[in-house]
Amino acid sequence: MTTDLTVDVSPEVQRRLYELMTLMKAADDRLSKGIASGELVCVYWPSRGQEAIAAAAGVCLREDDRLVTTYRGLHDLIGKGVPLVEIYGEMLGRQVGAARGKGGTMHIARPESGVMLSTGIVGSGPPVAVGLAMAARRLGLDRVTVASFGDGATNTGSFHEAANMAALWDLPVVLVCQNNQYGEMTPTEHTMKIAHVADRAAGYGMPGVRVDGNDPIALVVALTDAVERARSGGGPTLLECVTFRLRGHYFGDPMAYMPEGQLAAASAADPVPRFRARLLEAGNFGELDLDEIERASAAAVEEALATVLAAPATALDELDRDVYADPRNCPA
Ligand SMILES: Cc1ncc(C[n+]2csc(CCOP(=O)(O)OP(=O)(O)O)c2C)c(N)n1
Ligand SMILES: [Mg+2]
């Protein structure tokens, strides 16, 4: 898909996309630096390189829309409006975390922002998203649920069951596959016979759309379409966003399995500098405007981290709090 920056999105949306993408990148960079130096102790599955997808979702979704993501969800959570203090707080086991530090990196949820699940079980997000979409329909709400998952997840049975039910019942779901070309250490082409994840949609009777996952404008165009379709009763869409995981599967993964030159080639298409260059070329923003956005993102990350590091560790009396839901207060 060829996109025209000046035609497809307003300057306000361009700015918001760059703010989100630089915030996601800065949050990842700072976490990686802190873990590498021993300053921060936590497990982490980096999302560096996949920012454009989450930023596009951030500008296309309403606050009450629902999101289900995975362990590699830092960027998705930021895009959906989860405060960075609650994300870092959860990762670092502090009382200020989204689940008061009890969930950790793999289990960040914040219903107030519409984030209902982060899961470490590959493929388990789509069926939950389908359930959330069914709930919205029963409640008569016009909100949309996005399930964000990897290419590897589309090889699991639960993905296929969820896709079938979503299509059969025209549920308001958008299935967003972040095809980063690896599942752990295995290249995608070694795990599926077909070349395009989007082709799987035909088997369920829903549109399958393949889009450049490093182009935030193409993503906004495709997502706007899919979200609108879902919201107006037209049913689900499978969106394959083709990107690349610029860091290891987990923080510390030496990536020895990657063929020589592959990472360098992928880094040349890094969505953040690429979008910066495109914004400058289009002319709505100058170098100084974009430098200022980057500075503000880095400052926001430092401020959030300082707050988290000054916060108390998860208290012992948290252990049995929030373990059982009160059905009367359960978010829909
Ligand atoms: C059901 C299940 N099987 C295996 C694993 C181990 N595992 C963790 S991440 C991963 C790869 C998933 O790849 P993909 O869906 O492409 O997501 P990515 O990590 O690339 O974002 C696997 C196999 C798991 N967590 N859950
Ligand atoms: Mg993958």
What are the φ and ψ backbone dihedral angles of 29, each rounded to 5 degrees?
Answer: -60, -45
320 pLDDT tier (thresholds 50, 70, 90): confident
Look at residue 31 and tell me whether its pLDDT is greater than 90. Answer: yes
Q: Which atom of ligand 1 is nearest to the CA of 45?
A: 19
| Lowest-pLDDT choice from 1-15, 57-71, 84-98 | 1-15
Q: How far is the CA of 51 from the centre of ligand 1 (A)?
A: 19
pLDDT tens-place string over residues 264-296: 999 999 999 999 999 999 999 999 999 999 999
Report DSSP letters for 159-209, one per residue: HHHHHHHHHHTT-SEEEEEEE-SEETTEEGGGT-SSS-GGGGGGGGTS-EE
Whether residue 219 is contained in a domain is answered as yes
Q: How far is the CA of 270 from the centre of ligand 2 (A)?
A: 16
Look at residue 1 and tell me whether its pLDDT is greater than 80. Answer: no
CB burial class (10 A; 0-12, 13-18, 19+) of residue 36?
exposed
pLDDT tens-place string over residues 162-200: 999 999 999 999 999 999 999 999 999 999 999 999 999
Between CA 26 and CA 150 the distance in angstroms is: 22
Buried b (16+ CB within 10 A) or exposed e, 265-303: ebeebbbbebbbebbeeeeebeeeebeebbeebbebbee
Q: What is the mean pLDDT of residues 83-111?
A: 97
Q: Which atom of ligand 1 is nearest to the CA of 70?
A: 21
Query: Whose CA is closest to atom 5 on ligand 1?
Result: 122
Q: What is the mean pLDDT of residues 214-220?
A: 98
Q: How far is the CA of 24 from the centre of ligand 2 (A)?
A: 18
Q: Which atom of ligand 1 is nearest to the CA of 188?
A: 16
SS3 label, residue 117: strand
Average pLDDT, the chain: 96
Ligand 1 site, CB within 6 A? 72, 120-123, 149-153, 180, 182-184, 245, 249
Whether residue 119 is contained in a domain is answered as yes
Between CA 27 and CA 109 the distance in angstroms is: 18
Q: How far is the CA of 135 from the centre of ligand 1 (A)?
A: 27
Q: What is the mean pLDDT of residues 153-165?
A: 98
327 pLDDT tier (thresholds 50, 70, 90): low
Whether residue 328 is contained in a domain is answered as no
2 pLDDT tier (thresholds 50, 70, 90): low
Asked if 309 contacts 89 with a C-beta cutoff of 8 angstroms, the reply is no
Q: Which atom of ligand 1 is nearest to the CA of 149?
A: 15
Q: Which atom of ligand 1 is nearest to the CA of 182?
A: 20
> Minimum-distance ligand to the CA of 159?
1
Q: Give residue 183's pLDDT.
A: 98
CB burial class (10 A; 0-12, 13-18, 19+) of residue 263?
middle
Query: Whose CA is closest to atom 9 on ligand 1?
Result: 184
332 pLDDT tier (thresholds 50, 70, 90): low
Query: Whose CA is closest to atom 6 on ligand 1?
Result: 122
Q: What is the mean pLDDT of residues 38-46?
A: 97
Q: Give residue 5's pLDDT.
A: 76
Q: How far is the CA of 12 from the centre of ligand 2 (A)?
A: 31
322 pLDDT tier (thresholds 50, 70, 90): confident
Asked if 76 contacts 95 with a C-beta cutoff of 8 angstroms, the reply is no
> Minimum-distance ligand to the CA of 148?
1
Q: What is the mean pLDDT of residues 243-249?
A: 98
Q: Which atom of ligand 1 is nearest to the CA of 151?
A: 16
Q: How far is the CA of 196 from the centre of ligand 2 (A)?
A: 13
SS3 content of the chain, % helix, strand, coil (to 5): 50, 10, 40
The token duo for 133 is 């979409």
Whether residue 327 is contained in a domain is answered as no
> Minimum-distance ligand to the CA of 249?
1
Look at residue 323 and tell me whether its pLDDT is greater than 90. Answer: no
For 89, the domain range is 5-312
Whether residue 23 is contained in a domain is answered as yes
Q: To test the ligand 1 pocket, which listed residue (45, 69, 76, 122) has its Cβ within 8 A of the most ligand atoms?
A: 122
Asked if 113 contacts 80 with a C-beta cutoff of 8 angstroms, the reply is yes
Question: What CATH number did the domain enclosing 85 receive?
Answer: 3.40.50.970
Whether residue 324 is contained in a domain is answered as no
Q: Give residue 326's pLDDT.
A: 73
Whether residue 330 is contained in a domain is answered as no
Look at residue 128 and tell me whether its pLDDT is greater than 90. Answer: yes
The token duo for 139 is 């409640």
Asked if 229 contacts 235 with a C-beta cutoff of 8 angstroms, the reply is yes
Number of structural domains, the chain?
A: 1
Q: Give residue 165's pLDDT.
A: 98
150 pLDDT tier (thresholds 50, 70, 90): very high
318 pLDDT tier (thresholds 50, 70, 90): confident
Q: How many CB atoms sit inside 10 A of residue 190's CB?
A: 8
Whether residue 59 is contained in a domain is answered as yes
